[in-house]
Structure 1
Amino acid sequence: MAKTIFITGASKGFGRIWAEAFLKRGDKVVATARNVESVKDLVQRYGASVLTLALDVNNRAQCFEAIAKAKKHFGSIDVVINNAGYGLFGSVEETTEKEARDQIETNVFGLLWVTQAALPVMREQGHGHIIQVSSVLGIAALPVLGLYNASKWAVEGLSETLAAEVKGFGINVSLIEPNGFSTDWGGASAFHTQSLPAYDGVKAAFQAGITEDSFGIPEATTDAVLKLVDASNPPLRLFLGKVAYPWVQQVYADRLATWDEWKEVAEKAHGK
């Protein structure tokens, strides 16, 4: 059965790839982007199956307006994919106040505004699926991406809470956790802090750990996303790529070992 899917950041990367995959199989898509001209060609190719809307997720009122337009145009919204966001590269010390606020504003608050706008629609219709594009870096952090890591950890906590709050309304929530993929997320779409020489070594070590196998092929994610959208009982978290899961397994093994080592100290802190 065809679905109506609202996607933010649909002009490129995962958003564009997934929007086209949905349209090719017969779904209806609301494709949003800051520059609506970047998605106009979808209308030429898919006609009435696609609605394109200009949307800056940092503008809360605009988020509510976009959801309202989508609901009025197609009659319902089955799935919302919060894909809009970007990566800020640089050490924590290097990050300016504006860079930090902008990163959190887009990756966290932008996602929150779209989510809040969609929830009344989904509650009224008695069903829905909100998919948050997080990152494996929302579960395990890497250096020189501190504010990006922080934004995704915030998305993780917010979305896990949301899932418990809205399950009774027939609304599912899922977090997509990609490892690195060969999109322009780390290229043209990335932002960089002004470097401090003190962190040159940390950055060099970070770069040295990146290999060709670290990055997946973006188009290969479509089958997984289609299955997630179609699932009657979708998971809260879905990893994308072959790097994410084994890395997280090791990270959690290390965490559990440390927590176990400090277990007696922790229990005594309970006081009784």
Structure 2
Amino acid sequence: MTITPGTPATSSTTSSAGRVWFITGASRGLGRAFTEAALAAGDRVVAVARTLTALEQLAAEHGDCLLALPLDVTDRAAVRTTVDEAVRHFGRLDIVVNNAGFLTMGMVEEFSEAEARAQMETNFFGALWVGQAVMPQLRAQGSGHIVQVSSIGALGGFALTGMYSASKFALEGMSEALAAEASRFGIKVTIVEPGGYWTDLYTTGMAATEPMDAYAPLRAELEKQFADGSVDSMPHLAAEAVMKLVDSDDPPLRLLLGSAIYDLAFDISRQRMATWAAWEETSRAAEQATEAPEGYGS
């Protein structure tokens, strides 16, 4: 059902001149923080989520500035219908935040086909369907900003989160292409890569594979590393960074959120460059321009 907007709480939160946001996974975690920050700035928000119960109080407080709609982002037809309803309601879209996602913890070998596909359906295909649905409106306007919420897991593959990383790697590859395609229409795309935040990603937003005995020692080591080395922050800090991002006239293609992920990004990049350099001779020897072999392509 659609939550019917209530009476506006204050004039500052109901400005009709504000930008219009479309935020997926808006009922909790980072999505909720982005929604609250946008409303506090005087913008209007289409907040979508699988269930809307958690948005009822927010809708009552912000009246006509908030439109909460139910949506499963893996349903491509439903995504298009919901985007159309959002545009009819507010007349335009300015900022689209693809935030919906979840994490399945498990070794790659442990994943069933259903578990692997479910990870990709939400984290990758959900963002793809939303992007496809909003592009006609943004192209017609000649403006807009699509914010793709990725992860530290897109910087590299890590044991226990391999399929999650796979979904985020796919998201980033698609988003880079989308950025190149959308820029000629005045549309900006930014990939946001957050570190750890105190959300429900590791509780209600997480699933797990059936563990195999062979990986028990590695799993124990990793669990100890997580317990000793986890750095988590409050979600409002991520929201503040995203507000600065969307206020920028020249937003970056990528934005790291957090010191730990910032340092990790540089460490991974340096390691890759060192490996590439060590194998430079082999890499270059594998290429030699030549004419097409006789009969090629026939």
Alignment match, 2:175: 159
**How far, CA to CA, are the matches of 1:126 and 1:71 in structure 2?**
15
* 1:170-189 alignment, distance < 5 Å: 170-189=186-205
Spell out the pairing of 1:103-118 with structure 2 (5 A cutoff).
103-118=119-134
Read off the aligned partner of 1:252 and give its amino acid letter: S
- Which of these residues, 13, 30, 33, is aligned with residue 14 of structure 1? 30
Partners of 2:175 and 2:235 in 1: CA distance: 24
Displacement of 1:217 after TM fit? 2.0
| 1:78 and 2:94 aligned | yes
Q: TM-score, normalised by structure 1?
A: 0.97
Q: Percent identity?
A: 43
> Which whole-Å CA distance do the structure 1 matches of 2:233 and 2:56 have between them?
28
Runs of 4+ more than 3 Å apart: none
Aligned to 1:89: 105
Whole-angstrom CA distance in 1 between matches of 2:244 and 2:279:
41
Taking the aligned partners of 2:47 and 2:239, their CA distance within structure 1 comes to 16
Inter-partner Cα distance in structure 1 for 2:111 and 2:142: 43
Counterpart code for 1:180: G
TM-score, normalised to structure 2, is: 0.89
| Cross-structure match for 1:64 | 80
Q: Distance in 2 between matches of 1:212 and 1:262?
A: 32
Question: Within 5 A, what are the aligned runs for 1:142-153?
Answer: 142-153=158-169
106, 110, 118: which one aligns with 1:102: 118
| Residues 33 and 39 in structure 1, CA contact (< 8 A), matched pair in contact too | no
Aligned CA RMSD, in angstroms, stands at 1.2
Given that 1:31 and 1:52 are in contact with CA atoms closer than 8 Å, whether structure 2 keeps it comes out as yes
AA aligned to 1:199 is: Y
Match of 2:240 in 1: 223
CA contact (8 A) 2:194 2:238 kept: no
Could you tell me how far apart the structure 1 residues matched to 2:68 and 2:282 are? 56
Equivalent residue for 2:280, pick from 258, 263, 268: 263
Unaligned stretches of 5+ residues in structure 1: none
Letter in 2 for 1:258: T
